[in-house]
Amino acid sequence: MNKPVLDIKDVPSPLQWLTLSLQHLFAMFGATILVPYLVGLSPAMALISSGLGTLAFLIITKWQVPAYLGSSFAFISPIIAAKAAGGPGAAMIGSFLAGLVYGVVALIIKKAGYRWIMNLLPPVVVGPVIIVIGLGLANVAVGMAMNGPDGKYNLTYFSVALVTLAATIVCSIFSRGLFSLVPVLAGIIVGYVYALIIGVVDLSKVAKAKLFEMPDFLLPGIDYPIHITGQIVLLMVPVAIVTLSEHIGHQLVLSKVVGRDYIKNPGLHRSILGDGTATMISALIGGPPKTTYGENIGVLAITRVYSVYVLAGAAVLAIVFGFIGKITALIGSIPTPVMGGVSILLFGIIASSGLRMLVDSKVDFGDKRNLVISSVILVIGIGGAILKISETFQIQGMALAAIVGVILNLILPGRPEVNENMFELEKTNDDHVA
């Protein structure tokens, strides 16, 4: 590990603090506002909830884990389905329950260790489910890219999407350093400017917006009744299967970057509890579920600035941005094809990351057991299969695929054992490679 420029508890100078915190804000900005844009929630609330969630995470992990929490892509389809079933309130209730699952898992890990969760969520289950998340959203991305306001094919709109996509790809491939970590933000900016030039952008709301405005909070018991149904539970809660695995992966990578074993100290149970608490806080005020962001881990790796105060500064800036009406209105003026162009790459990357997990974990598809599990997950998830017990109790799509995958992994013979020292072994092997 390279010597840190600022270590975990180092406090930067005021100007340095602001600059470094803005870097983290920009790294998460594009992806964090894309999720509420896709599911019909407030981008301002996504920013505010990400800031509050990150601060909660830092407190729960005893100010030892430098991570930023932004909007989770895994919940896009479930939120859309939950909103269709019971409105925005239903999606928030489902998100809260998913966060509650994190708390239960954290408690079990604290008492029983982490081996059981790795047996429950091996790569052969999680990899295909992540692929389903990405490919299941492919139609959404292409529709946003190609279609005009009337829902019909629009070449002008498609050109905006293609310019945005091209800019995102160029920034991702050819940029170096910190710029390589913000291809989504760069693509959105370039696409927005192009859309502005050809007259697709409506700036009237930006002109009317106040500098400081109260965002659209969505509060339980005030803006919607608290009503838990089996359908909402089954739509949202199973997604935690995927996001828990994603969280563990991020903690392993972060441990390598920073040079500390976060699985042991402050403990996987604390980081999972922090992630779940952030999701519950978000659900209580009207924001999308939260997850640790790989983009911000990338910023840590490049800058070697590990200070938790820098991450806390980014969280405070995100909260402030959420109350600035001009910024919220500007985000709202981003044309649909701009987001569509970015989404084509982003959703493809999500699917590819699932494939990468299978490759990195050396899952053997010559083994019929692995082939059966992954095949069933892919077809059920992408095909949109629905298990309908009644009109109000049904499991569908990715949630059903994840549940079936876990069950198949548990009941089919030949399940490999997880090594007790898998985290230590992985770290040792990486040290040898280095």
pLDDT tens figures, 356-383: 889 988 999 999 999 999 999 999 999 9
Which residues, 6+ apart, have CB-to-CB distance to 269 below 8 Å? 106, 107, 109, 110
Mean pLDDT computed over 294-307: 85
Q: Give the pLDDT confidence of 24-39 residue by residue, as tens digits.
A: 888 888 888 889 988 9
Q: Find the range with the poorest average confidence among 62-71, 224-233, 402-411.
A: 224-233
Q: What whole-number distance in Å separates Cα of residue 270 and Cα of residue 241?
A: 18
Q: Which residues form the domain of 347?
A: 14-366
380 phi and psi angles, rounded to 5 deg: -65, -45
pLDDT at 112: 87
CA-CA distance, 403 to 239, in Å (whole number)? 9
- Give domain status of residue 403, yes or no: no
Quick check: is 328 in a domain? yes
304 part of a folded domain: yes
Strands 394-396 and 69-71 turn out to be: unpaired
Number of structural domains the chain divides into: 1
**Position with higher pLDDT, 50 vs 179:** 50
Round the average pLDDT of the chain to a whole number and report it.
87
Per-residue pLDDT, 424? 47
For 253-319, the DSSP string reads HHHHHHTS-TIIIIIHHHHHHHHHHHHHHHHHHT---EEE-HHHHHHHHHH-B--HHHHHHHHHHHH
pLDDT given for residue 427 in this prediction = 45
Confidence bin at 429 (pLDDT 50/70/90)? very low
Provide the whole-model pTM.
Answer: 0.82
Q: What was the pLDDT predicted at 391?
A: 66
Tens-digit pLDDT profile for residues 285-299? 999 999 998 888 888
